[in-house]
Amino acid sequence: MAKAVAVTALAAALVVLLLLACCPCRARADESANVTASLVSFLTALAGDDGGQTAIRLRWNASINPCVPGTKASLWSGTVQCFDRGVNDGHIKRIDLDEQGLNGTIDAALLCAAPALRVLNFHNNSLRGGLPAGISACSGLTHLVVSGNRLSGNLPSSLAQSRSLRVIEVSGNNFSGELPGGLGRLNLERFLANDNHFDGTIPDFDLDSIVGLSFDVSNNNLTGPIPKDAVRFGKGRFWPNAAGICGEPLFAPCPSPTPPSSGSEAEDDGKGGDKDKEKKRTVPKIVMYLGYVLLGAAILAFVLYRFCFKKKRSKLGRNSKPSGGRAVYDSSRMTTTTTTTSATPSKTAYSLPTSGEHSTVAAEAGAPSASLVVLRRSGTASITSNAAAAAAKNLRFEDLLKSPAELLGRGRFGSSYKVVVPGGAALAVKRVRDAAVDEDEFRRRMERVGLAKHPAVLPPLAFYCAMQEKLLVYEFQSNGSLTKLLHESSQAPLDWPARLHIAAKVADGMAFMHTTLRGDGGTTNSSSGGPIAHGNLKASNVLFTAGMDPCISEYGVTAPGRDGAAAFRADVRALGVLLLELLTGKATSAQGDGAELARWVTSVIREEWTAEVFDRALLAGTGVGSSEHRMVRLLQVAMQCVDASPGSAPPPTMREVAGMINAIRGDEDDGSVSFGA
């Protein structure tokens, strides 16, 4: 009887096991509560510990499982995508948080709680701190995209342990140190590390695995040989970098390695005995001492070569008769006198350094053939100081090359430097790469911009044109930009009168420039060409003078060459985004167009939570209901500028925007302006 019961129980157990194995209904393979909570905490840290506001905006909810088995789309909005088949069905596959205005740090421990994560995309935010070594704990990661942020420090060597990585994009940050050598052992399809501060040598990447031209290490401080088979990428993917980068045919040939000394006869004699042992002990010493001698000889030869080369170049420079390498444009007489130097153009000759530290701008191969054009502002009041005006009066291209330069920042269109020229005057130099206009058009544009004078527009002092690169020289403004004042200052936040003052001054300056440079023959200065818009109006291009008056920088530098009406409308929209930034206190993404901020404001207004739009510090500082009413009026002006929905009214002109803002300002009871303690 007992035996029969045991047999029956065994049979039942086997039936249950067979049912579990064959049943098509399997257990949910979704993310655990711990994983969802970790990811929400990760997003909060990524947003700068904003109290969970970004998680709410993006619908990341720890109580809701983000993935449904068999479905790619996530319940956590379009920023998350899930696996819909296979062993990872129901798990998070990718996280896309590009251009979300995030300004916090990356917490790898929280992120890598997601076991099946494959793709990370944090492109074009303002993330700070470093890339943590713990990122390698995301063992299945194939795509790591953190370009266009403010990350710094070294790339962790642990990245080389992530054997699944196929795409690494870290360009446009402030990373430094050496590139991990182990990266060359990864089977990468894309590697973009340009526009950083990396030094040392380039790892020996297997470029055969790179798809297309998706490899770039330019604008760093790298040296030594380039990887094999690099010719298909072109020189621009490796240059500019530090002196010493080499490798044919893109660069000069690399120095041959020192041949090893021969000691094989003594080591391979094989006859034994004390004499042979003594030889074996002596040979390494001889090789070591010989190496020291060869190294010393190589250093001495290099020093002598540099000394003789400089002496010869100096002699050649004295024998030639250059005409000064300078051009002067006199706005009072509408004439331009241009002189050029005779040397062959060389990018190293006019490229300012890419390092963020103080350095000396050195010309490695003579001055380029184009010239520096100095704009004189005869008999006209200007916001330019006497020191800067005096420095610009006799400014030469060689002065810029020989002066100490400090990197101020990088943007979509180039880099900005602080340069202290002989005499002690501080100038700001904007280096523009791949401008959309040719040299002649750029020259005409800058001459016209130099003629248009307004106290809220920073005038260019000089400019330089050469093929794919342009330089603009301005007076350096030590009080920084609106971005710094709004988002990075330790002082008391800007109050309402100060923000309205900034909005009015910027609108006045832009309206004046649009009217003066509309190119329809309506004014004397506009008859020589088409419309010139700003092209890149944003908070970082609104600077403050010594008297804390706002002034617009870089007018016309990157404006499109055609369709002036569309360019003017784009300026109006950019001013609208700037007004939203003043009202909300929220930063736009580092290299975006402010679309995310405009969408957020629109969504809040649609829900009739208009008061939630305004910066809390702004509301706390008013204390008067009428001021909040005027904030709403300025918000309405901003929304007219950015509204591009179908069926909406045409955007106002810049002159109309300036009129509306000045009407709001004229109604203010308290005209005092405060920029913090």
Residue range 340-363: mean pLDDT, rounded: 36
Task: Work out the angle at residue 187's Cα, subtended by the Cα atoms of residues 183 and 189, and round it to the nearest 5 degrees.
Answer: 100
Where is mean pLDDT largest: 79-83, 207-211, 595-599?
A: 79-83
390: alpha, beta or left, given left = phi > 0 and alpha = psi -120 to 50?
A: alpha
Where is mean pLDDT largest: 308-312, 413-417, 610-614?
A: 413-417
Where is mean pLDDT largest: 185-189, 269-273, 292-296, 404-408?
A: 185-189
Where is mean pLDDT largest: 25-34, 126-135, 387-396?
A: 126-135
Whether residue 472 contacts residue 372, with contact meaning beta carbons closer than 8 Å, is answered with: no
What average pLDDT does the structure give for the chain? 78
pLDDT beyond 50 at 222: yes
Per-residue model confidence (pLDDT) at position 466:
72
Per-residue model confidence (pLDDT) at position 15:
42
Cis peptide before 240 (omega within 30 of 0): yes
Where is mean pLDDT largest: 336-350, 618-632, 643-657?
A: 643-657
In the structure encoding, which two tokens stand for residue 513, read together? 């420039």
Q: How far is residue 212's CA from residue 218's CA, in Å, rounded to a whole number?
A: 17
Q: How far is residue 473's CA from residue 384's CA, in Å, rounded to a whole number?
A: 12
Per-residue model confidence (pLDDT) at position 262:
46
Alpha helices, H only, 381-495: 386-393, 397-402, 439-451, 482-483
Per-residue model confidence (pLDDT) at position 520:
57
Burial of 312 (0-12, 13-18, 19+ CB in 10 A): exposed
Residue range 648-655: mean pLDDT, rounded: 88
Whether residue 216 contacts residue 234, with contact meaning beta carbons closer than 8 Å, is answered with: no
Where is mean pLDDT largest: 17-21, 41-45, 73-77, 557-561?
A: 41-45
For the chain, report the end-to-end CA distance as a whole number of angstroms: 94
pLDDT beyond 60 at 379: no
Residue range 107-117: mean pLDDT, rounded: 93
Report pLDDT digits (tens) over 184-220. 999 999 999 999 999 999 999 999 889 888 899 999 9
pLDDT beyond 90 at 42: yes
Per-residue model confidence (pLDDT) at position 676:
52
Residue range 152-156: mean pLDDT, rounded: 94
Residue 196 makes CB contacts below 8 A (sequence gap 6+) with 170, 171, 172, 173, 174, 175, 176, 219, 220
* pLDDT > 90: percent of the chain: 38
pLDDT beyond 50 at 267: no
Question: Which is more confident, 515 or 529?
Answer: 515
Q: How far is residue 361's CA from residue 367's CA, in Å, rounded to a whole number?
A: 12
Q: How far is residue 566's CA from residue 531's CA, in Å, rounded to a whole number?
A: 10
Residue range 177-185: mean pLDDT, rounded: 93
Task: Work out the angle at residue 345's Cα, subtended by the Cα atoms of residues 339 and 348, and round it to the nearest 5 degrees.
Answer: 120
Residue among 378, 374, 354, 350 nearest 364 (CA)? 350
pLDDT beyond 80 at 533: yes
Report pLDDT digits (tens) over 542-556. 999 988 999 999 998
Fold of 33-246: 3.80.10
Q: How far is residue 81's CA from residue 2's CA, in Å, rounded to a whole number?
A: 56
Per-residue model confidence (pLDDT) at position 395:
78
In the structure encoding, which two tokens stand for residue 449, read together? 């911009």
Per-residue model confidence (pLDDT) at position 3:
47
Sign of CA dihedral 440, 444, 450, 456: negative
pLDDT beyond 90 at 335: no
Per-residue model confidence (pLDDT) at position 211:
84
Per-residue model confidence (pLDDT) at position 152:
94
In the structure encoding, which two tokens stand for residue 67, read together? 């993935």
Whether residue 205 contacts residue 188, with contact meaning beta carbons closer than 8 Å, is answered with: yes
pLDDT beyond 90 at 123: yes
Residue range 327-353: mean pLDDT, rounded: 35
Residue range 490-498: mean pLDDT, rounded: 83
Domain ranges across the chain? 33-246, 323-476, 487-677
Residue range 280-303: mean pLDDT, rounded: 78
Q: How far is residue 388's CA from residue 460's CA, in Å, rounded to a whole number?
A: 11
* Residue 487 DSSP code: I
Beta bridge partners of 359: 405
Q: Which residues of 431-457 are buried (b: 16+ CB within 10 A; e: fewer)?
A: bbeebebeeeebbebbbbbbbbbbbbb
Report pLDDT digits (tens) over 232-250. 888 889 988 988 899 988 8
Greatest alpha-carbon span in the chain? 121
Per-residue model confidence (pLDDT) at position 259:
55
Q: If you write DSSP's letter for every residue of 47-97 in order, what string do you get?
A: TTS-TTHHHHHTT--TTS-S--TT-SB-TTGGGEEE--SSTTTTSEEEEE-
Where is mean pLDDT largest: 209-218, 329-338, 489-498?
A: 209-218
Cα–Cα distances in angstroms (integers) from residue 665 to residues 363, 439, 521, 673, in the given order:
51, 41, 32, 12
pLDDT beyond 80 at 435: no
**Around Cβ 315, how many Cβ atoms within 10 Å?**
10
Q: How far is residue 412's CA from residue 432's CA, in Å, rounded to a whole number?
A: 9
Residue range 174-186: mean pLDDT, rounded: 93
Identify the H or E element spanning 512: helix 496-516
Identify the H or E element spanning 581: helix 564-584
Kindly indicate the confidence band of residue 375, based on its pLDDT and cuts at 50, 70 and 90.
Answer: confident
The residue type found at 193 is: A
In the structure encoding, which two tokens stand for residue 273, read together? 């005995």
Whether residue 219 contacts residue 354, with contact meaning beta carbons closer than 8 Å, is answered with: yes
pLDDT beyond 50 at 142: yes
* pLDDT > 70: percent of the chain: 74
Per-residue model confidence (pLDDT) at position 357:
35
Question: Which is more confident, 307 or 317?
Answer: 307
Per-residue model confidence (pLDDT) at position 373:
84
Whether residue 162 contacts residue 134, with contact meaning beta carbons closer than 8 Å, is answered with: no
Kindly indicate the confidence band of residue 294, based on its pLDDT and cuts at 50, 70 and 90.
Answer: confident
Long-range CB pairs of 338-343, under 8 A, 24+ apart, other chains included: 338/371, 338/373, 339/371, 340/369, 340/370, 340/371, 341/366, 341/367, 341/368, 341/369, 341/371, 341/397, 342/369, 343/367, 343/368, 343/369
Sign of CA dihedral 292, 296, 302, 305: negative
Per-residue model confidence (pLDDT) at position 272:
46
Q: Are strands 462-466 and 372-376 parallel, antiparallel or unpaired?
A: antiparallel
Per-residue model confidence (pLDDT) at position 310:
60
Residue among 411, 430, 421, 361 nearest 391 (CA)? 421
**Around Cβ 197, how many Cβ atoms within 10 Å?**
18
Sheet holding 221-225, edge to edge: 152-153, 174-178, 197-201, 221-225, 245-246
Fold of 323-476: Phosphorylase Kinase; domain 1 (3.30.200)
Cis peptide before 249 (omega within 30 of 0): yes
Residue 642 makes CB contacts below 8 A (sequence gap 6+) with 573, 576, 577, 580, 594, 598
407 φ/ψ angles, rounded to the nearest 5 degrees: -70, 125
Write down the residue that tokens 């990872």 correspond to.
Answer: 88
Kindly indicate the confidence band of residue 338, based on its pLDDT and cuts at 50, 70 and 90.
Answer: very low
Per-residue model confidence (pLDDT) at position 246:
93
Whether residue 542 contacts residue 481, with contact meaning beta carbons closer than 8 Å, is answered with: yes
Q: How far is residue 637's CA from residue 644's CA, in Å, rounded to a whole number?
A: 14
Residue 171 makes CB contacts below 8 A (sequence gap 6+) with 147, 148, 192, 193, 194, 195, 196, 216
Identify the H or E element spanning 200: strand 197-201
Residue range 125-134: mean pLDDT, rounded: 94
Write down the residue that tokens 């393979």 correspond to.
Answer: 29
Question: Which is more confident, 276 or 410?
Answer: 410
Fold of 487-677: Transferase(Phosphotransferase); domain 1 (1.10.510)
Whether residue 55 contacts residue 76, with contact meaning beta carbons closer than 8 Å, is answered with: no
Poorest-pLDDT segment among 34-43, 164-173, 326-335: 326-335
Per-residue model confidence (pLDDT) at position 592:
66
Kindly indicate the confidence band of residue 464, based on its pLDDT and cuts at 50, 70 and 90.
Answer: confident
Per-residue model confidence (pLDDT) at position 10:
46
The C-alpha torsion from 512 through 515 and 518 to 523, rounded to 10°, is -110
Sign of CA dihedral 529, 531, 535, 539: positive
Poorest-pLDDT segment among 83-97, 122-136, 288-302: 288-302
